[in-house]
Every structure is written in C-alpha cells, then in structure tokens.
Amino acid sequence: MEVIIDHKALECDITHSEIEFLSRKILDLNKQLIDSEKAKSRFLSLVANSLINPISVLLSMIPHLDPKNDVRSAKIYDTVYEQALVLDFRIQNLLAAAEIENGQVDISYALIDPTELVNEAIKSLKYAILEKNIQINIHNTIEQKVVSDPKKLYLIIRNLLDNGCFYGIKNGIIDVSIEEKESKLLVSVKNQGEGPKVEHKPQIFTRFAYGPEGYHGLGIGLSIVRDLCELMDGTIDYEADTSSVTFTMTLPLETNLSNSEAYGSNEFLFESFDDAIEL
Amino acid sequence: MIQGCSTFIHVGQIHVDTSPSAISTVLGSCVAVCLYDTKLGMGGMNHYLLPFWNGNGLQSPKFGNISIPKLIEAMIMRGSLPKTLVAKVFGGASINIGNSANTMMIGEKNILVAKEILKDYKISIVAEDIGGQNGRKIQFNLERGKVQMKYIARSDIGEGN
C-alpha cells in the first residue's frame, strides 16, 4: 500500500514540474508574441485617438449642409454623410479595441431604454439599411428602463445590427428582440440569409479573422462585442440555420444604480474587515 | 477602516490609485497582484483569470502575462520606478476539485506567471497568500500599503473569479 502512495506522489511531482517547465516555456514564447503585437497596439491606440476629434466635428457639421431640394447635391451629401458615419463607426470600434487592450475599460451604469439604443444604432446605419431595403422590427417586452452601461451596450447593439445588415439579404427583415429572463437582459438580432457555420464559431469572435464570406469592415466588431459582454459578465453566441442567423447577447441586469457608481461598486461585500488578516 | 473610497475591480481590470483610497476584489483561482510604491503612497491592483494570452482575441488584461506588465507600466506612467515598488500576491486557489479546471491547474499557473514576471522586473514579493482551496476577499489599503484579507466560502465566489 505504501508503495502505491509513493508512486502517486512521484507522478504528482513529475506532473507539477512538467507543468512548471512548460508554463515557463509558454511564458517565454508569449513574450516574443507580445513584443511583436505591442507596436501594433500602440499604433491602434494612436490612430483611434487622433481620428476621433476630426470625425466628431465632421459628423456634427455635415447635417447643416443638407441641400434639401437640389438633387445632384443631395446625392453628394448622402455619400459624404454615409461615409462619415462608416468612418465614425470604425473609429469607435478601434477606440474600444484600444481601450480593452489597455485595460482601461470602466463600466459606468445608468438607467437606459434599450429601444432607444437600438433606434440610435439604426439611425447611424440608415444608409446601409436603405441600400438593402431592410425592414427592422423591434420587439421589446421590457416595460421599464434597465440599468446597464449605455455606451457599451450601444456599441454591442450597433455591431450586431451592422453585422445583420451586411449579411442580411436584400429586401429582408431584421428582428431585434429585447427581453428579460432570469434577471438577465437578452438582446437578439436575427437576420435573414445564410449564417456562418457552427465550425467557424471560434473565428467569428476573433479579431481580424475572416470567414469564408470574405472581408467586411475591420474584422474587429464581433471580437469587441465578445470582450465587452465578458467585461460586463455577459455572454454572446449565435445560432444559424439555412435561412437565418441569430446573434444573442445576455447581460446581467444591475439592480442598484447608486451602489454601482458613486460609492465604489459592490462595496457591500467589504462591509467589515475587522477580523481580517493583514498582510 | 479606510478613509477614502474603495474601488472594486472585476476580472480583467487594472486600477491604480493614491492614498487614502482602497482597491478591493474577490478571488477564486484568479490572481491579484498588488503593487505599492512606498515613496509615493500610490498603489495598483489587477485581477486576472488565466495565465497566458494565446494570441487569439484582444490582448485583454484578463490574462496574467498581459495584465501584470500593464499594471507595472501604469504605475511607472504615474511616476513610480520598479525599484521603489513592492508586490503582494493573492489568489490562485484550486476551486474546482475533480473537474477539468483543477487538472489544468489554472490557479497554480496563475501564481507562477505572477512570480516569473515580477522576477523579470526585479520587483520583490513582500507578502503573499496563494493557492489552497479557499476563495479570498481582499482590500488593498493605499494609506499604509497593507492588504486586508478574508477567506470566503466557495458559494461566495462568483463565476470567473
């Protein structure tokens, strides 16, 4: 019996030292990988930050140039406005990616109406929607406002809708459902058209990884959606059949707004440290 | 008892603050590295879930080898020097006995990454409470650079801590 125990201990020791050895090796390899990525990350952050101010000015000024009745100018105006909106969307995604990489993402909760966020996202994607003549139906079963991070939720919804518009068929329908289930906020975006196959799932949420459908945007939208959902303790997944694809995100619904913001969130967990160990 | 406000950090977050504030978190197999600058009275804490970024997805600070250098950089950006920094390491428990998370020894790998990276930066670990099978609540008091720690039941540890 003693011999068996010794064998087990020995095996355990070998496994431990092997894992330590391999972990050190992974760490070394990872350092090289990180170094090569570092330059890219810095560039990403720099570009996003230097572009955000000019595009904000452009977007606020362009609506004042609306030529209204001049058909030729109206076409030019629409093209300029459309491209400015696309550019703004891509810069917002670059900024979000840079923030996530820097670990500077602060969650700030507020009372929001999810339908309003969806409508705002629709407004920013109006040209893509018009081009494909897509009809968007919103089904919101939540009557009251919810507590969540509006900026992040907006970016998630905007990316999901943009994805739906790009992969959705012409003259198709996009259904946006908003519901509450087991204290979680569920937002799903269903578009008609062939969806990405299940075997492509790991790629779909990976940045710069393109599926067989080809290139679209920067290839970081859905990776940002995944990271933002994870940061807020939520999830993102999709289901696809031959005629439609549905992306569904869940976020836990916060119930206490004041505790989350002004006084240091979740401090109730730390009401007493009287008998704590001090190190 | 802390005088300033206490900031709670979740998985993948990094927070740097000055005295008299505090930074707190809850850990299971995750690890938190607390850095304290004894000269500036400034400290920072991270909270990471997994040891290594595998090259897929964004370089999120939920990975130890991303999060720890970023925490050190954040301290340096605010005027610290690696030689004036001391570290305290917490967490890395084996929470899920019998299932795959335990066989992969996530907690132990998380601890190993912290030690290796801090060694690289020549930052000494002056206190630690790591491994074991219990979760931990910690509060990093930046006024004195001390960490208050309590063990917690498994049921009190949220998923992914």
Nearest to B134 by CA among B45, B10, B27, B35: B27
Residue with tokens 């930046």: B142
Segment of A5-14, A90-99, A130-139, A189-198 carrying the highest mean pLDDT: A130-139
From the list B14, B52, B67, the residue facing A27 with the nearest CB is B52
- Of A67, A102, A137, the last residue of a domain is A102
- What's the length of chain A? 279
Task: Give the model's pLDDT for residue B104.
Answer: 64
CATH (domain of A69): 1.10.287
- Local structure of B83: helix, strand or coil: helix
Best of A23, A207, A218, A275 to disrupt the B interface (most B CBs within 10 Å) is A23
Q: How far is A26 from chain B (nearest CA, A)?
A: 8
Per CB-CB distance under 8 Å, the chain A contacts of B55 are 33
- Of A102, A132, A157, the last residue of a domain is A102
Number of domains in chain A: 2
Task: Give the model's pLDDT for residue A53.
Answer: 86
In a domain, A231, yes or no: yes
Task: Give the model's pLDDT for residue A14.
Answer: 62
- Local structure of B138: helix, strand or coil: strand
Per CB-CB distance under 8 Å, the chain A contacts of B110 are none
Segment of A101-105, A172-176, A274-278 carrying the highest mean pLDDT: A172-176
Number of domains in chain B: 1
Residue with tokens 């790991």: A202
Task: Give the model's pLDDT for residue A157.
Answer: 94
* Residue A131 and residue A214 in one domain: yes
The answer to whether the CB atoms of B55 and A277 lie below 8 A apart is no
**Counting runs of H as helices and runs of E as strands, what totals does chain B give?**
3, 9
The answer to whether the CB atoms of A19 and B61 lie below 8 A apart is no
ipTM of the shown complex: 0.78
Residue that wins the pLDDT comparison between B49 and A195: B49
CATH (domain of A255): 3.30.565.10
In a domain, B141, yes or no: yes
Please state whether beta strands A110-112 and A146-148 pair in parallel, antiparallel, or not at all (unpaired). antiparallel
Per CB-CB distance under 8 Å, the chain B contacts of A224 are 58
In a domain, B103, yes or no: yes
Hey, CA dihedral for B11, B13, B17, B21, is it positive or negative?
negative
* Residue A81 and residue A146 in one domain: no
In a domain, A265, yes or no: no
Residue with tokens 């000055």: B18
Task: Give the model's pLDDT for residue A255.
Answer: 65
Following DSSP, what letter does each residue of chain A receive, concatenated? -HHHHHHHHHHHHHHHHHHHHHHHHHHHHHHHHHHHHHHHHHHHHHHHHHHHHHHHHHHHHGGGG--TT-HHHHHHHHHHHHHHHHHHHHHHHHHHHHHHHHT------EEE-HHHHHHHHHHHTHHHHHHHT-EEEEEE---S-EEE-HHHHHHHHHHHHHHHHHHSPTT-EEEEEEEEETTEEEEEEEEESPPPPGGGHHHHTSTT---TT---TTS-HHHHHHHHHHHTT-EEEEEE-SSEEEEEEEEEPB--HHHHHTT-TTGGGGS--TT-EE-
Per CB-CB distance under 8 Å, the chain A contacts of B58 are 97, 100-101, 207, 223-224, 227
- The yes-or-no verdict on residue B3 having pLDDT over 60 is no
Average pLDDT over residues A28-32: 82
Given the residues B11, B14, B30, B75, the one annotated as active site: B30
Is residue B127 within 8 Å of A279, Cβ to Cβ?
A: yes
Listed in sequence order, the residues at least 6 apart from A190 whose beta carbon sits closer than 8 Å to its beta carbon are: A164, A174, A175, A176, A177, A244, A245, A246, A247
* Residue A181 and residue A75 in one domain: no
Listed in sequence order, the residues at least 6 apart from A244 whose beta carbon sits closer than 8 Å to its beta carbon are: A190, A191, A192, A193, A195
In a domain, A125, yes or no: yes
In a domain, B44, yes or no: yes
Task: Give the model's pLDDT for residue A7.
Answer: 61
* Residue A89 and residue A131 in one domain: no
* Residue A51 and residue A125 in one domain: no
The answer to whether the CB atoms of A26 and B52 lie below 8 A apart is yes
- The yes-or-no verdict on residue A92 having pLDDT over 50 is yes
Per CB-CB distance under 8 Å, the chain B contacts of A20 are 112
Task: Give the model's pLDDT for residue A109.
Answer: 84
Task: Give the model's pLDDT for residue A263.
Answer: 38
- The yes-or-no verdict on residue A272 having pLDDT over 70 is no
Q: Closest-CA residue in chain A for B157?
A: A269
- Local structure of B108: helix, strand or coil: helix
B5 is catalytic: no
In a domain, B1, yes or no: no
Q: Closest-CA residue in chain B for A274?
A: B1
Task: Read off the pLDDT of residues B127-158 as tens digits, 9 standing for 90 and up.
Answer: 999 988 889 999 999 988 999 999 987 666 66
Tell me which residues of chain A, numbers 238 to 267, contact chain B at a CB-CB cutoff of 8 Å: 263-267
**CA distance linking residue B19 with residue A226, whole number of Å:** 35
In a domain, B54, yes or no: yes
- The yes-or-no verdict on residue A261 having pLDDT over 50 is no
Hey, CA dihedral for A99, A101, A106, A109, is it positive or negative?
positive
What's the gap between Cα B9 and its chain centre? 10
Average pLDDT over residues A182-206: 83
Task: Read off the pLDDT of residues A204-253 as tens digits, 9 standing for 90 and up.
Answer: 887 766 655 555 556 788 888 998 998 888 899 998 888 899 999 999 88
Task: Give the model's pLDDT for residue B139.
Answer: 93
Nearest to B25 by CA among B36, B12, B39: B12
* Residue A96 and residue A116 in one domain: no
Average pLDDT over residues A123-136: 91
* Residue A204 and residue A157 in one domain: yes
* Residue A225 and residue A155 in one domain: yes
In a domain, B161, yes or no: no
Residue B140 forms contact with A (CB below 8 Å): no
- Of A102, A129, A163, the last residue of a domain is A102
* Residue A36 and residue A122 in one domain: no
**CA distance linking residue A92 with residue A205, whole number of Å:** 18
Task: Give the model's pLDDT for residue B101.
Answer: 47
Nearest to B49 by CA among B68, B76, B34: B68
3-state helix vs strand vs coil in chain B, percent to 5: 25, 35, 40
Task: Give the model's pLDDT for residue A147.
Answer: 87
* Residue A135 and residue A187 in one domain: yes
In a domain, A271, yes or no: no
Task: Give the model's pLDDT for residue B5.
Answer: 76
Q: Closest-CA residue in chain A for B71?
A: A103
In the sheet where A277-278 sits, what is the strand order? Answer: A277-278, B146-152, B135-141, B22-27, B6-8
* Residue A130 and residue A80 in one domain: no
From the list B6, B105, B129, the residue facing A264 with the nearest CB is B6
Phi, psi angle pair for A238, to nearest 5° = -140, 155
In a domain, A275, yes or no: no
Average pLDDT over residues A140-162: 91
Residue B134 forms contact with A (CB below 8 Å): no
Residue B14 forms contact with A (CB below 8 Å): yes
- The yes-or-no verdict on residue A40 having pLDDT over 80 is no
* Residue A211 and residue A78 in one domain: no
In a domain, A145, yes or no: yes
**CA distance linking residue A103 with residue B44, whole number of Å:** 13
In a domain, A189, yes or no: yes
In a domain, A273, yes or no: no
From the list B69, B105, B127, the residue facing A279 with the nearest CB is B127
From the list A24, A223, A266, the residue facing B8 with the nearest CB is A266
Find the range with the poorest average confidence among A65-69, A116-120, A162-166.
A65-69
Domain containing A153 equals 112-260
Tell me which residues of chain B, numbers 93 to 132, contact chain A at a CB-CB cutoff of 8 Å: 105, 108-109, 112-113, 116-117, 127-129
- The yes-or-no verdict on residue A160 having pLDDT over 90 is yes
Task: Give the model's pLDDT for residue A13.
Answer: 65
Domain containing B134 equals 6-156
CATH (domain of B22): 3.30.1330.200
* Token pair of B21 as six digits: 């504030």
Listed in sequence order, the residues at least 6 apart from A76 whose beta carbon sits closer than 8 Å to its beta carbon are: none
From the list B148, B158, B159, the residue facing A276 with the nearest CB is B148
- The yes-or-no verdict on residue A4 having pLDDT over 60 is no
From the list B8, B55, B60, the residue facing A267 with the nearest CB is B8
